[in-house]
A = this chain, B = another copy of it.
Amino acid sequence: MTAVALKTLLNPRSVAVIGASEDQTKFGGRLYKTLLQHQYAGEVYPINPSRDSLFGLKTFASIQATPQAPDMVIMALPRDKVKAEIAACAERGARAGIIITSKFSDAGPEGQALEREVVEAAARHGMRLIGPNCLGLISPANKLVLCSSPALNVPSLIEAPIGFVSQSGALMGTLFDRSYGLGIGFSHCVSVGNQADLELCDFVEFLIEDDRTQVICSYVEGIKSPQRFMALARRARLAGKPWLMVKAGATADGSRAAYSHTASLAGDFAALKAICDRENIVMMDDPLDMLSLARAMVRYPARRVSSVAVITTSGGGGAISADQLSHAGIGLAQLGAATRAGLAEHYSEGQANNPIDIGGRRHEGSTDELGQVTAELVLADPATDLGLMVLTTAPDVPGLTRQLAEGAQRPAAAGKPTLYVMLPGRVAAPAREMLVAGGLPYVDTLAEAMAILRGWKAWSTYQAPEAPSRPAGMAAVPAPAGGTLGEAAAKALLAGVGIPVNQERIVRTADQAVDAAGALGFPLVLKVVSPDIAHKSDVGGVALNIDSAQALRHQLALMQSRVAQAAPDARIEGYSLQKQEHGELELIVGARRDPQFGAQVVVGAGGVLVELLKDVAILGAPVDPASARRAVEGLKVAPLLKPYRGRGALDIEAVVDAIVRLSWLAHDLESQGLDFEVEVNPLKLRLQGQGAVAVDARARIGAR
C-alpha cells in the first residue's frame, strides 16, 4: 500500500453505510448520524432495505443498488454477516471498507480463520480493509467521520496537524473526547483494530507523507512488520516529523493484558525501545500526555527544550515544581546576571531568580504588568529554553495569565515555548479558555507537565547515529560452527573479530597444569570445562587467585571433588587455566538476534551487578562508535568510568571498540541467516590506555 493510494482511500468521494438507521441505540444509527453531522462533502449512501429515506437522504436496499460503486463502505454487522457483505461490496467495486465488528482474530482460532476469509473476499477485487474489531476513523482534515463513539457528538471538529494511529479503538475515542475539551485537534485518527489487512505502518507512512500532519502519535500493542516499522521510523526522522508512541506491554503484566486484547504479541519492549531510541521515536507512558506533547510540538516546532524557567504565583508551587523538574532530569535555567538584575528591580532580595514567585514582588503594586515584564525578561535569557507558568489561585488568574502570554509574545522573548500548568479548578476556567483560544499549550497537573517536558527534552536533544563502518582490518566473519559454544570456542570467536580475551590453556592433570602455569604466569584462574555445565560457579567449578604451583595442585584437587559431587554425570573435558586479569570495572557486552528487529548489541553493568542493576542499553547492529559511546555514557555505572578515589579514568574507548566489533559480528551472522546470542561477562575494563579484556564468554549459534 503506498501512502498516495491511502491518501485517496482516506478521502473518499462516496461512503456507503451498511445498516444505516435513525436509531441511536444501534451502531449503524450512530455511524450514520455522526457522518452526516460533520459536513462530509462526498456522496453518502445509506444502505437499509426497509426504509425509503433516513434523515432526509434516499436509502438503498443493498450495496448493489447504489448509483455507483462507493469509494468506502463501513459496517458494524453481526459477525456472521460480515463476510457475505464484504464480498458483495468488493464485487460492487468498493475500494475500501471499515469493519467495526469484533470477535475475529481477537477471539481465538475460529475467528482468525473467518478473518482470513473476509480479507480474501475483499482482496479478490482489490478492496482494502480497516479492522475488524476497530472503531473506524476520524479525519477532521477531510471532514470525514466514520466512527460511532459518543465522543463525536460535538458541534464541530478541531483540525490540527496531529495524526494518531491507535491499536485500541476505545482509547482513540477516549483521547478524542479528552483532547477536545483541551482544544487539541487532529488531522486524521485511525483505529486499526486487528490489522487484518491495512495496518499501523500503512497509516504511519501516510501520515509521514501527509502535508496536514506535523506530529505523529501512536498507541501500539505489537508491531506487525518490524522491518517496515524500522524503515518508517528512519523516514519520519529524516522528514523531521516527531513520532510519539505509547507502547502497552512495557512490563510483564502489561504484556498479558495486551495479548488478551488484540491477539498481537507485545514483543520485546527493550528491543523495540532500542529502535525507537535510534530513530528518535519518543516513548511515553500515558496517551494523554502524548497528545499534550504533540500539541506543544505543533505550536513550537523544532525547539530544543532542555532547561526551564519557572514563573509561578506561589512559592510553594515553585518549590514543588523545582523538585519535580529535578526528578524528571530537566534543568532549571541558570539565569544570567543581566536577567537577575532586571528581575531585582521588581522582586525582593533572594526572589529575583528561577523559580520566580510573582507573589514575591518588591513592593505591593510595584507594577501592574509584573507578569508581562517577568515573562519577557526570563524568556529573553539565552539560558531559558521554555517558560513553565505554574498558576495557583490568585486574585486575578485570568488577568495574570494574559499578562504572561503577552510577555512571551514580546520580541525579546524570541518566540520561546511556554507551557502553562493550571493548578486551580473553577477559578482558572476563564484562563483555560483564553489559552485554548490563543493556541497556547497547557495542562492541569505538574505530573503531566513533567511527562511532556521529559519527552520533549529527549526528542530535542537527540543525536542522530553516524553511518556505521566496519573497523579497519576487520574482515567479514565467516560462517561459524553452530550449536552451543563453550567458553573456549566463544572466546575464539571474539578473538577472531579483534576483541581481546585472556590467555588460557586446557589441562587435564595437575602436572599439565603446573607446566601451563609456567607459561601463563601467576596469578591464575582455574575453571572446569564441560559441555554439561552452563553455570560453572554453581557447581564450584571456578577458583580464583591461584598464586603458586602448590596452590594450583591443591585447588585442582578440590575442584575435581566438588564438581564430582555437584554434577556427577557431567562429562569433564578438562580444566581451563587462565591468566587472572585485573580490571577496575566489570561490564557485560553481548550480541543477539531479536526475532522482530534483527541484529542487536547489548552493554551494561556486569558481574554481580547484572541482575541487581538491570543496567543495560540495547542498540541496533551494526552501530557507530559515537552511538556506542553515548549508550555507555548513559549507563547507571557510567560515573565509575571517570576518575574515582585516586584512580584515573577508565578506557571507555576499549568498551566502545568491543561493542562496535560485536555489532559487526552480529550483522554478519544476521546476514548469514543465523540465529545467535553471544555474551561476554565480565569484560574487565582497565585504566585509560590499558584496554579491556573478556575473561568469560558463551555463545549459541543456530539456524533460524
Report the interface size class on chain A: 35 or more
Which residues in B have their C-beta under 8 angstroms from that of A393?
Answer: 149-151, 170, 173-174, 176-177
Judging by beta carbons under 8 Å apart, are B167 and A316 in contact?
yes
User: What 0/1 readout, one digit per residue, does chain A (286-324) give for beta carbons within 8 Å of chain B?
Assistant: 111000000000000000000000100111111111111
Question: Which of A255-263, A590-598, A658-666 makes up part of the contact surface?
Answer: A255-263
Whether A140 is near chain B, meaning CB under 8 Å from some CB there, is no
Of B287, B357, B364, which one neighbours A261 at CB under 8 angstroms?
Answer: B357
Which residues in B have their C-beta under 8 angstroms from that of A154?
Answer: 426
Which residues in B have their C-beta under 8 angstroms from that of A508?
Answer: none
CB contacts under 8 Å to B, within A426-475, are 426-428, 444-448, 451
Whether A640 is near chain B, meaning CB under 8 Å from some CB there, is yes
Which chain B residue lies CB-closest to A289?
B447
User: What 0/1 readout, one digit per residue, does chain A (310-354) give for beta carbons within 8 Å of chain B?
Assistant: 100111111111111111000010000000000000001111010
Which chain B residue lies CB-closest to A363?
B103
Which chain B residue lies CB-closest to A424?
B177
A78–chain B nearest beta-carbon distance, Å: 7
Of B107, B348, B353, which one neighbours A107 at CB under 8 angstroms?
Answer: B348
User: What 0/1 readout, one digit per residue, does chain A (619-638) give for beta carbons within 8 Å of chain B?
Assistant: 00000000000000000110
Whether A249 is near chain B, meaning CB under 8 Å from some CB there, is yes
Whether A423 is near chain B, meaning CB under 8 Å from some CB there, is yes
Complex: A514 Cα to B506 Cα, angstroms: 38
Whether A568 is near chain B, meaning CB under 8 Å from some CB there, is no
Which chain B residue lies CB-closest to A247?
B323
Judging by beta carbons under 8 Å apart, are B535 and A394 in contact?
no
Whether A181 is near chain B, meaning CB under 8 Å from some CB there, is yes
Given contacts A173-B393, A254-B326, A392-B170, contact A288 B445 (CB under 8 A): yes
Whether A367 is near chain B, meaning CB under 8 Å from some CB there, is no
Which residues in B have their C-beta under 8 angstroms from that of A451?
Answer: 447
Given contacts A170-B313, A177-B393, A313-B170, contact A537 B287 (CB under 8 A): no
Judging by beta carbons under 8 Å apart, are B174 and A349 in contact?
no
Judging by beta carbons under 8 Å apart, are B319 and A357 in contact?
no
Complex: A44 Cα to B620 Cα, angstroms: 74
Complex: A530 Cα to B353 Cα, angstroms: 45
Name the prevailing secondary structure of the A interface residues: helix
Judging by beta carbons under 8 Å apart, are A253 and B323 in contact?
yes
User: What 0/1 readout, one digit per residue, does chain A (496-521) give for beta carbons within 8 Å of chain B?
Assistant: 00000000000000000000000000
User: What 0/1 readout, one digit per residue, does chain A (166-188) give for beta carbons within 8 Å of chain B?
Assistant: 11111101101111111000000
Judging by beta carbons under 8 Å apart, are B177 and A257 in contact?
no
Judging by beta carbons under 8 Å apart, are A445 and B448 in contact?
yes
A268–chain B nearest beta-carbon distance, Å: 15
Which residues in B have their C-beta under 8 angstroms from that of A107?
Answer: 348-349
Which residues in B have their C-beta under 8 angstroms from that of A150?
Answer: 393-395, 397, 427
Which chain B residue lies CB-closest to A326?
B251
User: What 0/1 readout, one digit per residue, does chain A (625-659) give for beta carbons within 8 Å of chain B?
Assistant: 00000000000110110001110000000000000
A254–chain B nearest beta-carbon distance, Å: 3
Which residues in B have their C-beta under 8 angstroms from that of A321?
Answer: 257
Complex: A168 Cα to B316 Cα, angstroms: 5
Which residues in B have their C-beta under 8 angstroms from that of A43?
Answer: none
Judging by beta carbons under 8 Å apart, are A314 and B357 in contact?
no
Of B250, B262, B320, B364, which one neighbours A315 at CB under 8 angstroms?
Answer: B262
A295–chain B nearest beta-carbon distance, Å: 14
Considering residues A103, A327, A427, A537, which has the most beta carbons from chain B within 10 angstroms of its beta carbon? Answer: A427
Judging by beta carbons under 8 Å apart, are B447 and A317 in contact?
no
Which residues in B have their C-beta under 8 angstroms from that of A322?
Answer: 251, 253-254, 256-257
Which residues in B have their C-beta under 8 angstroms from that of A173?
Answer: 392-394, 424
Per CB-CB distance, the 3 closest pairs between chain A and chain B, nearest first, are A168-B316, A261-B315, A170-B314
Beyond the given A253-B325, A257-B322, could you list 19 further A-B residue pairs with CB under 8 A, ordered by the A residue number? Answer: A108-B349, A150-B427, A151-B424, A154-B426, A170-B392, A173-B392, A173-B394, A178-B423, A180-B425, A219-B316, A249-B319, A250-B326, A250-B327, A251-B323, A253-B326, A254-B322, A257-B310, A285-B323, A612-B639
Return 6 A-B CB contacts under 8 Å, by A number. Answer: A167-B316, A170-B313, A171-B314, A174-B314, A445-B445, A545-B545
Residues of chain A whose beta carbon lies under 8 Å from any beta carbon of chain B: 30, 78, 102-103, 107-108, 148-151, 154, 166-171, 173-174, 176-182, 219, 221, 246, 248-262, 285-288, 310, 313-327, 332, 348-351, 353, 355, 357, 359-360, 364, 392-395, 397, 423-428, 444-448, 451, 535, 537-540, 545, 547, 608, 611-613, 636-637, 639-640, 644-646
